[in-house]
Amino acid sequence: MSSYYDDNFGWYNIEDEDDVSFYHQMQTESVLKICNGCGRKVKLRRQYGYCNSCANAIEMGMDVG
């Protein structure tokens, strides 16, 4: 099993080759952006505004940004 990190979804623990393809597809579709929450430069899909860490914090009710 291999681990991969993606700013869109966080950590992947990948065992299946299809999942590796999905990870690479997400990386290809992502662009460098400034996260609306933490202000870090991250690689996100065009329609996303928050990195995975900030999105998780928002879902837990924390004030981000």
Give residue 13's identity as a one-letter amino acid code: N
CB 43 within 8 A of CB 30: yes
Find all residues with CB under 8 Å of 29, minimum gap 6, and list them: 45, 46
Domain ranges of the chain: 2-59
pLDDT at 45: 95
Q: What pTM, to 2 d.p., does this model score?
A: 0.81
Contact by Cβ (8 Å): 36, 54? yes
Residues 51, 36: Cα–Cα separation, whole Å: 8
Strand partners, 14: 2
pLDDT digits (tens, 9 = 90+) for 4-34: 899 999 998 888 888 889 889 999 999 999 9
Residue 13's pLDDT is: 87
pLDDT of residue 41: 97
**pLDDT tens figures, 30-62:** 999 999 999 999 999 999 999 999 999 999 999
